[in-house]
Structure 1
Amino acid sequence: MKIATITFLVSVLLASASCQPKNTSIKPVLAQQEAIEKIELSSEVLQEYETAYFASGCFWCVEAIFESVKGVKEVVSGYSGGTEKNPTYEQVAYGRTRHAEAVEVFYDPEVISFTKLVQVFFGSHDPTSLNRQGPDSGAQYRSIAFYKNAAEKKIITNYMTLLESKGVYDRPIVTQVKEFDVFYKAEDYHQDFEKRNPNNSYIRNVSIPRYNRFKENFKSYLKEGSH
C-alpha cells in the first residue's frame, strides 16, 4: 500500500488557548451537554475489542481524532507512561508526575489494523517536537507510541524508519517507543471534551484545526459522517 505523505504543520496559536489548567480549581463548562447522548459501553462489550495506547499532546485533541477513525469503537482519555499511581489531572498537567496525557483506543482488528492506528498516530501530530505539541509544553505532552508485545513494537519502529527514510520530516523523530504498563482513566469531564465543549477557545483554536489537518490526509480512514 502506498503511504500518503504526511503534512503536519505546527501552528503558532493563541497563548491563552491551552490544555493546561489555569488554576487548581477547575470548573469545566460542558456546553450543550443536554444535546449529546453519550452511550456508555460496558466493560464486557469493550473486552471484545483490542486496545492500543498513544500519547501525542492534549488528550482532548487525540481522543477526537481516533474516535473519527473506522474500526475504532471507543477512545478514553487518561494518563500513562509514568510510575505514579492514580494521578490526577492537576498533577499531570502541571508536570508533577512522569505520566503523559494519553488515550486508550478500543478497536476492531477486522476493520482496522494496529499498523493503520500507528499511521493515524504519526499523521495527526508532530513527532519531531520534543515535549511539546502546539501551545502545550512539558513532558506531559510528549509523543509516545506504546506497545504491548514484540509484534507491535516492530510495527512502530519499522514505520518510524520508513518515515525517516522518506524524508517526511525536516527534523528527527523524537517519539518514545515504550512498553505499555498501566493506563489511568482521566476524570469524567475530560471524556468527549471536544464534543461537549465546541465553543471552548482551546477546542476552536487548537483541537478543531488539528483535527481538520488530519482529515485532509486520512480521508479513507474516516467513519461515515466524519468527513
Structure 2
Amino acid sequence: MKILRIPFLAIILLISANCQPKNSKAEKTVAQETSSVPVKVMLSSEDLQEYETAYFASGCFWCVEAIFESVKGVKEVHSGYSGGKEKNPTYEEVAYGRTGHAEAVEVFYDPKVISFTQLVQVFFGSHDPTSLNRQGPDRGAQYRSVAFYKNAEEQKIIQDYISLLETKKLYNRPIVTQVALFEVFYKAEEYHQDFERKNPYNSYIRNVSIPRLNRFKENFQSYLKEDSH
C-alpha cells in the first residue's frame, strides 16, 4: 500500500526557505529537482468535452495515469475512484479497502488518433491481468483489474480482446480482469493528479511506477507520443 507523507521535495523547499543561507548546496539541489519536472499544458473542462472518455483500473493510479499520459491521442488523464457504490470516497477510505471502489483513471482521448480498441491494448499490455486484487506491491480489491465499458460496442471490444489473449495463451494463469459497466467516476484529490510527473524523486515512483512505465514503453513504442520516447 502506498503511504502518503509530505513530499520530500516540499520538505526540502520549506527547510531551504527558512533555515538555509542563499546559494547553499541544499538550494541548488532543490533548484535542479524542480527544473527537472516537465511543464504540462493544462486543458479546461470545456476543452476536454471535445474528446471521448475511457475508464480503466489496474493497480496504483499514479502508475496507470502516467502510462496513458504517454500514449499518442490521449489528451488528459485523471486519477480517481470507480467501481463501487459509496459516494464521494476519499483516498484514505479507498486505500484501506473501506469502499467497493478501485483506484481508476479517466482517459480523455481523440478517436481520430487512437481508438478504444488500442486503449484496451494499452490497458492489458501495461499490467498483469491474471493477478487477483494485486499489482506489484499493492494488494487489495482497490487495486483490482477492471476494464469499464459505457456501451455494448465497448463491452464487445473488451471481451473479444480477452478472448484473443486467451486463445493465444499468452498467460500461464486465467485472466481475472473484471469487465464492468461504467457508472460513475470520482476524481481523486488534487495532490494525486500527475503525481508521477510532479514527484519524480518519490521512492514509490522511482522503484515501482517508473520501472512499470518503462516496461510499457519498450513494448508499445509505436503508441507513444513524440516526447514520451
Into which bin does the TM-score normalised by the smaller protein fall?
A: 0.7 to 0.9
Q: Would you tell me which structure has more helix in proportion to its own residues? A: 2
Letter in 2 for 1:108: D
Q: Which of 142, 145, 169 is equivalent to 2:144?
A: 142
The letter for the 1-side match of 2:6 is K
Is the contact between residue 21 and residue 93 of structure 1 (CA under 8 Å) also seen in structure 2? no
Q: Aligned letter for 1:54? A: F
The CA distance in 1 between the partners of 2:47 and 2:7, in whole Å, is: 29
- Counting aligned pairs with the same residue, the percent is 79
Deviation at 1:33, TM superposition (A): 5.6
Are positions 1:21 and 2:3 aligned together?
yes
Displacement of 1:30 in angstroms is 5.7
Deviation at 1:225, TM superposition (A): 1.7
User: CA–CA distance in 1 between the matches of 2:196 and 2:83?
Assistant: 23
Contact 2:7/2:202 (<8 A) preserved? no
Q: How far off its partner does 1:38 sit?
A: 4.0
Indicate conservation of the 8 Å contact 2:57/2:147, yes or no.
Answer: yes
In structure 2, distance between residues paired with 1:38 and 1:185: 19
2:63 counterpart SS class: helix
RCO (CA 8 Å, sep 6+): is it higher in 1 or 2?
Answer: 1
Distance 1:91 1:27 in 2: 19
Distance 1:196 1:217, change over 3 A: same
The letter for the 1-side match of 2:139 is: S
> What whole-Å deviation, never above 9, does each CA across 1:32-55 have from its counterpart, x for those lacking one?
567553433111100000000000
Counterparts in 2 of 1:1-227, with a 5 A limit? 18=1, 20-21=2-3, 26-29=5-8, 32=33, 36-227=38-229
For 1:38 and 1:220, locate their aligned partners in 2 and report how far apart those are by CA, in whole Å: 22
Mapped partners of 1:38, 1:150: distance in 2: 34
Question: How many pairs align?
Answer: 206
Cα distance between partner residues in 1 of 2:87 and 2:174: 32
Higher-Rg structure is 2
SS in 1 for 2:228: coil
Query: For residues 83-137 of structure 1, what are the alpha-carbon distances to aligned partners after superposition, in whole Å with 9 as ceiling and x for unaligned?
Result: 0000000000010100000000000000000000000000000000000000000
Distance 2:123 2:70 in 1: 13
Q: Which amino acid aligns with 2:228?
A: S
CA gap of 1:58–1:178, structure 2 versus 1, over 3 A, is same
Cα deviation 1:9-29 (Å, max 9, x = unaligned): xxxxxxxxx4x226xxx4345
Kindly report the root-mean-square deviation, in angstroms, between the aligned alpha carbons of the 2 structures: 1.4
> Which amino acid is the alignment partner of residue 71 of structure 2?
V
Amino acid at match of 2:219: N
The SS at the match of 2:156 is helix
Q: Distance in 2 between matches of 1:65 and 1:208?
A: 9
Contact 1:30 1:196 in 2 (8 A): no
With structure 1 as the length reference, what TM-score do the two structures score? 0.87
Q: Is the 8 A contact 1:143 1:175 kept in 2?
A: yes
TM-score (norm 2): 0.86
